[in-house]
């Protein structure tokens, strides 16, 4: 029986969330250990069905919260499956939903890859991004496009001057990602920041400062200066808190990470829930930080070796 799969992975924004919406730069890392696998085969049913942890049933019955996936599937069906062969699409994800780790884009990407594999149609990186963007625009409103790019890359991405550039400084150190256990809503957070900024034009300066910090971290990473990188991450967190997207849970995890020896820590993604990231110089300290974060209520933690993101 013919079966095809597509795999994609998570991402975290290292620095530049929110300011990226205002055309400032951002640095984004893939997280290869958190993955989504989509598997397609012919369905014995009369129409295409989808099986996942969040929803199982006819594609036509997908909940409104998955409207982006519905639109994507409709488009893939029209373009790749015009004779409407009934399919069974299974989604297995280890990326928590709505935590700023790019779960929606990764699900979209895995589905796209599985469809193209199943119908044996070659898929370019441009096409993959284009289709992922279709889902992301519906799910997140008018995002910067960061997620669609990074879930489809195996190395860091620099978002600069509205362009996505492969960013491959000689990375060292370890990144700890910790989940507050609360979902964040990108649309809500972006709208809230927009209202905060337009209430007083002087506040635009906060966005410029985030942009400057991102430029500095770009240089810090190129110079393998983890200490300064960490300091700049912490400074960015203070600005993000001023923008109103931090929460008591985020603050608590950040304090815990810093007390446990992190070089710096901040929220990642849109905030108002979601995850934090912390920087550690070596694996033992990363393990110590992750364990303290779990004791303080982090639902899940990941340790990503940054050297593993360097091109082979």
Residue closer to ligand MEV (CB basis): 100 or 230: 100
Over the Cα atoms of the chain, what is R_g?
20
Closer residue to ligand MEV in complex, CB, 144/152? 144
Beta carbon of residue 229, minimum distance to ligand MEV (angstroms, whole number): 19
Pick from 20, 31, 62, 197: which binds ligand MEV (CB under 6 A)?
20
Q: Is 296 helix (H, G, I), strand (E, B) or coil?
A: coil
Q: Per residue, what are the HEC states of 227-253?
A: HHHHHHHHHHHHHHHHHCCCCHHHHHH
DSSP letters spanning 58-118: EGGG--GGGHHHHHHHHHHHHHH-TT---EEEEEEE-SPTTSSS-HHHHHHHHHHHHHHHH
Nearest to 108 by CA among 57, 65, 151, 78: 151
CB nearer to ligand MEV: pick between 133 and 249: 133
| Cβ proximity to ligand MEV, 49 vs 134, nearer residue | 134
Helix 226-243 to helix 204-222 angle (10° resolution) is: 160
How would DSSP label each residue in 271-284? -SSSEEEEEESSHH
The yes or no reply on residue 21 touching ligand MEV (CB under 6 A) is: yes
17 binds ligand MEV (CB under 6 A): yes
Q: Which stretch binds ligand MEV (CB under 6 A): 87-95, 112-120, 139-147, 251-259?
A: 139-147
With binding defined as CB under 6 A, does residue 100 bind ligand MEV?
A: yes
# binding residues, ligand MEV (CB under 6 A): 14
Cβ proximity to ligand MEV: between 118 and 164 the closer is 164
Residue 102, judged by CB atoms within 10 A of its CB (0-12, 13-18, 19+), counts as buried
Binding of residue 186 to ligand MEV (CB under 6 A) = yes
For position 18 contacting ligand MEV by CB under 6 A, the verdict is yes
- DSSP 8-state class, residue 147: H
At its nearest, how many Å lie between ligand MEV and the CB of residue 112? 19
- Nearest residue to 156 (alpha-carbon basis) of 51, 310, 21: 310
Binding range to ligand MEV, per CB under 6 A, among 13-21, 55-63, 197-205, 209-217: 13-21
Axis crossing angle, helix 67-80 with helix 103-118, rounded to the nearest 10: 20
Question: Rounded to the nearest whole angstrom, what is the least distance from the CB of residue 273 to ligand MEV in the complex?
Answer: 12
8, 109, 114, 144: which one contacts ligand MEV (CB under 6 A)? Answer: 144
Residue 261 CB, nearest distance to ligand MEV (Å)?
Answer: 27
Among 36, 146, 175, 263, binds ligand MEV (CB under 6 A): 146
| 118 CB neighbour count, 10 Å cutoff | 24
Largest CA distance in the chain: 62
Q: Does 59 bind ligand MEV (CB under 6 A)?
A: no
CA distance 105 to 146: 10
> Which of 34, 105, 153, 190 lies at the binding interface for ligand MEV (CB under 6 A)?
190
> 143 or 285: whose CB is closer to ligand MEV?
143
Over the window 267 to 286, marking each residue x when it contacts ligand MEV by CB under 6 A and - when it does not, the resulting string is --xx----------------
Footprint of ligand MEV (CB under 6 A):
13, 17-18, 20-21, 100, 143-144, 146, 186, 189-190, 269-270
């Amino acid at each position: 029986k013919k079966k095809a799969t597509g795999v994609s992975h998570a991402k975290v924004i290292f620095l530049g969330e929110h300011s990226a919406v205002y055309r400032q730069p951002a640095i984004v890392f893939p997280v290869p250990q958190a993955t989504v696998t989509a598997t397609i085969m012919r369905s014995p049913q009369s129409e295409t069905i989808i099986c996942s942890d969040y929803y199982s049933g006819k594609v036509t019955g997908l909940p409104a919260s998955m409207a982006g996936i519905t639109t994507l599937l409709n488009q893939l069906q029209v373009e790749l499956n015009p004779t409407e062969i009934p399919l069974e699409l299974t989604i297995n994800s280890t990326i928590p939903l709505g935590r700023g780790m790019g779960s929606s884009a990764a699900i979209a990407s895995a589905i796209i890859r599985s469809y193209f594999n199943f119908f044996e149609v070659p898929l370019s990186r441009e096409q993959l991004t284009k289709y992922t963007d279709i889902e992301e625009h519906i799910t997140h409103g008018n995002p910067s496009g960061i997620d669609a790019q990074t879930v489809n890359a195996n190395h860091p991405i620099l978002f600069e001057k509205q362009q996505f550039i492969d960013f491959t400084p000689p990375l060292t150190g370890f990144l700890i990602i910790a989940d507050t256990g609360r979902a964040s809503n990108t649309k809500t957070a972006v709208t809230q920041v927009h209202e905060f900024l337009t209430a007083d034009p002087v506040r635009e300066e906060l966005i410029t400062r985030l942009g400057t910090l991102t430029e500095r971290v770009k240089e810090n990473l190129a110079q393998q200066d983890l200490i300064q990188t960490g300091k700049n991450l912490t400074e960015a967190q203070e600005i993000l808190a001023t923008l109103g997207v931090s929460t008591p849970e985020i603050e608590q995890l950040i304090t815990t990470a810093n007390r446990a020896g992190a070089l710096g820590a901040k929220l990642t993604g849109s905030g108002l829930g979601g995850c934090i990231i912390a920087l550690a110089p070596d694996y033992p300290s990363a393990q110590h930080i992750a364990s303290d974060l779990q004791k303080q209520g982090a639902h899940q933690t990941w340790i990503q070796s940054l050297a593993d993101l360097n091109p082979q």
